[in-house]
Chains A and B, each alone.
Chain A
């Protein structure tokens, strides 16, 4: 360190005092970087989660349905031969008993048996596979028998980037990460400092309290840039998840929501004296939002009466703004209502937190 340079023998040195915000922010960085677990949960975990979900919900080629055909008779064999080349079907010739067992255990979705009057389909109509097998088999049999469709149709298959599950979930994970960073990052650090009497020790010096709180926000914002870059970058490289809106808009959405969740973290930590106490409050705050705010599945799955409440949650607003920006390429006008909700949370949380804050 350049102590000698900073030391002024006249005793009226100024630089040190100007450095208190920088020193406090440096402390936040050092404490974070020297905690390997925190680095993992902040940067590696969301990426690993995205990769896992991306693999689990990857778009598979259109499914092939396995069906059984009761064979052994000449009518049965010719039915099997007719279905063998039908698209989307795999045919297993089976004995009558074997076919019944295979249907029960789900090895085949449907059993087709030749009858004197025609063909019998046996399937479970509560299983989607059974229903689609019925239509595929029927279609193949009727066409082979000479049916002609009265309406001409054409098909075009669309598998567009931006409409897959991975595209849906990455903005959700980003929102969840911003929430966790703000609430955990501020909450634990502040309560820990209070519990260890460090907060009291700091306010017994001439330290500016505003600088102390600002140091948390500065360090959060610096890490935020990294978090967003790592998650959005790896999602783009590994899965081609798009960012259709402007990067500036994406950053502003992240910044504002990081401030709001920082305020929420400050509010949660404003009175608690123990880690157990603050952990309970954090879970109480975050758990409903993990479920309700559209991280892993759309919040529109919840009943209509609950929607006004769900839409007012800060994580819902954040996720909506992130999805609109990343997936739909929406402009400022489209995300303004969501940003207004986030901004309102930010102001309310900070004002209440600063009034309630227990410094000693």
Chain B
């Protein structure tokens, strides 16, 4: 939608691209996991693949990591290709897989030492452990670490080879809010140090917080691409109003009536809850209240928030894919 690249470009503003994917397809039996996917990631940017579970994010990122092969399509990582340059490419990448269980009987230090030994050049082990804030856990067994600590250790193993490009597959899935924020800070720091990062997530807030650009992926395709701000702006509405009717069964509302109200761009009804995308809350809410009063309906709940990527996703998939 935004910024669709020409497929033969391997540079952006004179800098080589971190990642270029064109026409990627992959099926498992009858199931199409990736259905013609295109991506470009610029050097130094943090790029997010955002989508629900089963959208094809992990398959896509693992093809980019050279761990799966595509049925067709092109993948160029840091200007190199997996079939030709695997050996040198592995040295330049840092990878965090979804759900890797590192050896539980080893200590933090031993684990990072092991991963360091695989790379011809890389960072100091002690320094990397400090960077991921596991300095105090250096001698602790991996099996004794919390979920967040394990995830930070996985990140340490991914960055100990001093990679140019970092792939993070759902880095914060299953973590508590505090651990997530800790990990976000680390990713922001890595991005600031000039590394390119590709991450997948199904948390919209994570993509909004971390990513320069986001590709929203659904059913193996990119359905929207741009910076979080651009994507939200594409709604044409900066706010969202959600409400319920106290006596839902007797309500005679429909989307057309609500869309006709001042400042309302779109209305959807889902699971007993109405969602309005509005341009100006100050216009839309009084209009809504007056309208409901005129119909003799009593408001149950009312909430408003600024539009997020979540709303973009609902807007895109809700209309085209989910609710028909």
Contacts and interface: CB of A to CB of B under 8 A. Distances in A.
Interface of A: 1, 3-4, 7, 11-14, 16-17, 19-20, 22-24, 26-27, 30-31, 34-35, 196-198, 200-207, 360
B115 interface: yes
A29 B171 CA distance: 30
Contact of A206 (B106, B113, B119): B119
Contact of B67 (A16, A20, A24, A203): A203
A205 B161 contact: yes
Contacts of B97: 197, 200-201, 204
Given A1-B109, A198-B100, A201-B100, A206 B118 contact: yes
A34 B101 CA distance: 17
Contacts of A24: 114, 117
23 contacts: A1-B109, A1-B113, A3-B125, A4-B124, A4-B126, A7-B124, A17-B118, A17-B119, A23-B113, A23-B117, A26-B110, A27-B110, A30-B106, A35-B105, A200-B97, A201-B95, A203-B67, A204-B65, A204-B90, A205-B90, A205-B118, A205-B161, A207-B118
Contacts, number: 87
B125 A1 contact: yes
B121 A12 contact: yes
A292 B299 CA distance: 81
B121 A11 contact: yes
Nearest to B110: A30
B102 interface: yes
Top-7 shortest CB links A-B: A196-B101, A206-B90, A23-B117, A20-B117, A207-B118, A34-B105, A205-B118
A17 B125 contact: no
Interface of B: 65-68, 87, 90-91, 93, 95, 97, 99-103, 105-106, 109-110, 113-122, 124-126, 157, 161
B116 A16 contact: yes
A28 to B, nearest CB: 10
Nearest to A195: B101
A20 B126 CA distance: 18
B108 to A, nearest CB: 12
Given A16-B120, A198-B103, 18 more contacts: A1-B113, A1-B125, A3-B124, A16-B117, A16-B122, A31-B106, A197-B100, A198-B101, A200-B67, A201-B95, A202-B118, A203-B67, A204-B66, A205-B119, A206-B90, A206-B91, A206-B119, A360-B68
A200 B66 CA distance: 11
A247 to B, nearest CB: 34
B125 A19 contact: no
Nearest to A201: B100
A205 B115 contact: yes
Contacts of B122: 16
Contacts of B100: 196-198, 200-201
A206 B87 contact: yes
A341 B149 CA distance: 50
Contact of B126 (A3, A26, A27): A3
Contacts of B87: 206
Contact of B103 (A19, A27, A207): A27
A202 B119 CA distance: 12
A17 B105 contact: no
Contacts of A13: 121
A30 to B, nearest CB: 6
Contacts of A27: 103, 106, 110, 114
Nearest to B129: A3
Contact of A204 (B95, B113, B114, B119): B95
- From A11, A14, A19, A206, name the one whose CB has the most chain B CB atoms within 10 angstroms: A206
A16 B91 CA distance: 13
Contacts of A35: 105
Contact of A31 (B66, B103, B121): B103
Given A34-B105, A198-B101, A360 B67 contact: yes
Nearest to B141: A34
A30 B141 CA distance: 11
A201 B158 CA distance: 10
B22 to A, nearest CB: 23
A31 B117 contact: no
A35 B102 CA distance: 16
A200 B102 CA distance: 11
A3 B120 CA distance: 15
Nearest to A20: B117
